[in-house]
Amino acid sequence: MPDGGLQLDVTVMGAGLAGMAASIHLAREGFHVICAGPDVRNRQAVGESLDWSAPDLLHALGLSMEKLIADGIATYKRHVTLKLADGFTQHYVPSEWLGQSPFNVELRTLHVDRSLLNEAIYQIALNHDVQFLHERVANIDRDGARVVAVHMADGTRISSPWFIDASGAGASLLPKTFNLPFDEYGPHKTAMWSYFTVSDAIEGTTLYTQERKPPYMEWIWEIPIHPDVISVGYVATGDSVKTMRQQGLSVEEIFRAQLSRNPRFAALLESCEPAPPHVTSFRCRVHSKIAGPNWLVMGEAASMVDPMTSNGVTAALRHAVEGASLIVQSRKLRQIPALKRFLYSVRVASLARFFNSGIEKVLYDWPIRNRIGIGNAGDVYTVPAWSMNAIYARLRPRGVISTMLFGCALSFLLAIASILHVCCRQEDAVFEAQA
Ligand SMILES: Cc1cc2nc3c(=O)[nH]c(=O)nc-3n(C[C@H](O)[C@H](O)[C@H](O)COP(=O)(O)OP(=O)(O)OC[C@H]3O[C@@H](n4cnc5c(N)ncnc54)[C@H](O)[C@@H]3O)c2cc1C
């Protein structure tokens, strides 16, 4: 190590999905990359039900669908099913037209065992000579709008011409350093999850909700990460979990109580004992201006999308591809041109706003869901969300016109959802007044 600490071409803060993927893309282009952050293999990762755009992004890392299935890292996901306690069931399947020319979208996607996937990506990064430093970034040195160096918790100083922040939603290192503006969506939420052995896993993700018309939706996911293992998680508002905790219930008791309300999980709880649940709290947030002259923010550090959208993994891998390519293109200039920074920020933020605002207005909140029914609300969310994601993957907007046109299309769809939300809320107030 030189006296001044480590010197490389790119410093990536955070060794999660976005950080490792960006490191691989850059290492392939000949950059010397250090990926600095706690060892992802010691972490209980979540993010197991993938959007339809994720398989191509994994393929670009060297992990084809076939390989992931053959290696036991993934199972096929062909649809999403919504189930209510009263027996109501609705399937959401990607439209056939997405599979046809010019989109040619693969109509299957994947569920993944995130521990195995993280390990596989870590090995690919090692094979590309990505250097790992399993320490936390403690401090960041900046000179105006540029990042100069980072200091790790063990005292190591790392300097490089380029920096990537992929430190996740909890840390968001560069947004905090540069005090970047952000918007938040929905209330604080808590998720708790564990794993069950089953004999009847299906090739689809199932979402369960207990009531047809709750004021704010709580839900349970069932994701088959192996043919005989399902991940089961309960998501509720932080306030709702806090109330149950104040009544003296432990996280494990809350998890069991919520699952027991559903006959499928009540039976599973009787037949097998799951490990104590993991728990995490989050609030969906979207930062703006996430690129500087020699730095970029990626993955959840840039924008956290709600788990119900199944879009977090796609977003992390997509940011990694786009961000790495910006650095490659700007290599000789030694800084990312202002327009390219702006367009990257617009693309990342507009997609994340679209997913977060859409799912809050159409499914979590009551007005649209109660007015048109939860099954139809599911269509109102999934058809535009899945289509826009597939169109984005196919068209790959990068220039001014394509980025702006795509942003306008997303804003237009969001405006429709907002108008629908307001109208349904007002209509409901009129009905209540008449009653
Ligand atoms: C409950 C829940 C369910 C989800 N379900 C899905 C799903 O079904 N499908 C889906 O696509 N997505 C899902 N997601 C989202 C998905 O898990 C994430 O979007 C994705 O893993 C984000 O990857 P990332 O690399 O951006 O962040 P992370 O995976 O959070 O990685 C960030 C890394 O940075 C490290 N770090 C933190 N602080 C520092 C520091 N100071 N210095 C250095 N490193 C640091 C962390 O240790 C971590 O390894 C879910 C999320 C939640 C919360």
The region of weakest confidence among 70-79, 204-213, 226-235, 318-327 is: 204-213
How many angstroms separate the CA atoms of 323 and 26, rounded? Answer: 9
pLDDT of residue 192: 98
For 257-277, write each residue's pLDDT tens digit.
999 999 999 999 998 888 899
Cβ pair 311, 389 in contact under 8 A? yes
How many angstroms separate the CA atoms of 158 and 34, rounded? Answer: 9
pLDDT of residue 98: 73
For 57-100, write each residue's pLDDT tens digit.
999 999 999 999 999 999 999 999 999 988 899 999 987 877 78
pLDDT of residue 394: 86
β-sheet with 131-133: strand ranges across: 131-133, 33-36, 10-13, 162-165, 295-297
Which residue ranges form the domains of the chain, and what is each CATH number?
6-74+105-180+286-419 (3.50.50.60), 186-283 (3.30.9.100)
The residue whose CA is least distant from atom 6 of ligand 1 is: 47
pLDDT confidence of 351, banded at 50, 70, 90? very high
The residue whose CA is least distant from atom 37 of ligand 1 is: 167
Position 435 pLDDT exceeds 70: no
For 219-238, write each residue's pLDDT tens digit.
999 999 999 999 999 999 99
DSSP helix, strand, coil percent of the chain (3-state; round to 5): 45, 25, 30
Residue 333, Cβ density class (10 Å: 0-12 exposed, 13-18 middle, ≥19 buried): exposed
pLDDT of residue 94: 84
Report the pLDDT averaged over residues 204-214. Answer: 90
Report the pLDDT averaged over residues 50-56. Answer: 94
Instruction: Note if the bond before 263 is cis, omega within 30 degrees.
Output: no
pLDDT confidence of 162, banded at 50, 70, 90? very high
pLDDT confidence of 434, banded at 50, 70, 90? low
Position 149 pLDDT exceeds 80: yes
Which residue ranges have their beta carbon within 6 Å of ligand 1? Answer: 13-19, 36-38, 40, 43, 46-50, 136-137, 166-168, 171, 173, 191, 280, 282, 299-300, 307, 310-313, 316
pLDDT of residue 429: 67
pLDDT of residue 65: 96
Q: How far is the CA of 4 from the centre of ligand 1 (A)?
A: 31
Q: How far is the CA of 280 from the centre of ligand 1 (A)?
A: 11
pLDDT of residue 144: 97
* Percentage of the residues of the chain whose pLDDT score is greater than 90: 86
